[in-house]
Each structure stands twice: as C-alpha cells, then as structure tokens.
Structure 1
C-alpha cells in the first residue's frame, strides 16, 4: 500500500505541474509528449492522474506526522515530557544503596 501511495503522489505532482503549465503558458505537456489530448496514451495518463488524486484524498484528513509504517518514529507535534535521555531514573534505589553502604561503613 505504501508503494501505491507513493506512485499516486508522483502522478498527482505530475498532474499539478501539467495544470500549472496550462494555466501559465497554455502548454499541455502531457498532450505534447503523448500525441495530443485525443490520443489514447494521453487519455490513459489523464485518467491515472485523476485516479491518483482520488487515492490521495485520505492525505487531506491524515494527522500531520502520522505514519502508517511499522517502524517506530518520534511523534511530531506531540509534546514529550520526558528528559532528553528517555525515561527518568528512579532515585530511591540509589538512595537506599547509599544508606546501606553508610550503615556497613559505620559497623566496621
């Protein structure tokens, strides 16, 4: 699914560039490369770009930084109240060891 999403995004970008060229310079790059707007190959490209746009609609509603990959990633935009080294250490164990060593030193 991840590969399909990337292919769809590339096709949407190609469509956006083509529409930008049409709007700014009245030049249809897809038609120029594939034999005019009425050629079968141009129509296939236009159709793929349109379907890719439909596949990218969920990106509009996805939370920023949300990833559907299985690899763990840092949550972008969500505050973390931990220290920069991760989980804070429990100091009670260290204090108990220090007291025990003091007691053994006193006994000697």
Structure 2
C-alpha cells in the first residue's frame, strides 16, 4: 500500500507543479513535453486525476491512525 501511496503522491505533485506553471506563466509543461493532447499527454492527465481521487482516501486513513 505504501508504494501505491508514494506513486500517487508523486504523480499528484507533478500535476500540481504543472497547474502552478499554467496559472503563473500560462505554460503547460506536459503539453510542451508530449504534445498538445497527444495520447501520452492525455494518459498523464488521466493518471494525475486518478491519483488525486485515490489520495482522497488518505483523509480516512489519517483519521483512523489518530
């Protein structure tokens, strides 16, 4: 479970950094690296979204550990 947590957290951080770049500089790093809405950039966006949804479960797990 920890490996999945760390993987999801890493992917979510990549997405957060990308959104920060979009908000501040209007620069989409994922689109610049992999093409605007190419199949790979869409895959990255999907993984970021799924990672964010998975990390919602972190709230429940933190509450249970307290």
Q: TM-score range by the shorter chain?
A: 0.7 to 0.9
Moved over 2 A (4+): none
Q: Does 1:4 align with 2:30?
A: no
Select the structure with the greater relative contact order (CA < 8 A; seq sep ≥ 6): 2
Match of 1:52 in 2: 51
The normalised TM-score by structure 2 is 0.88
Structure 2 SS opposite 1:21:
helix
Q: How does 1:1-108 map to 2 (within 5 A)?
A: 1-36=1-36, 38-61=37-60, 62-63=62-63, 66=65
Aligned residue pairs, count: 64
The normalised TM-score by structure 1 is 0.55
- Choose between structure 1 and 2: higher helix proportion: 2
Unmatched segments (≥5 aa) in structure 2: none
Structure 2 SS opposite 1:50:
helix
Unmatched segments (≥5 aa) in structure 1: 67-77, 79-108
The 2-side partners of 1:16 and 1:9 are apart by: 10
Larger radius of gyration: 1
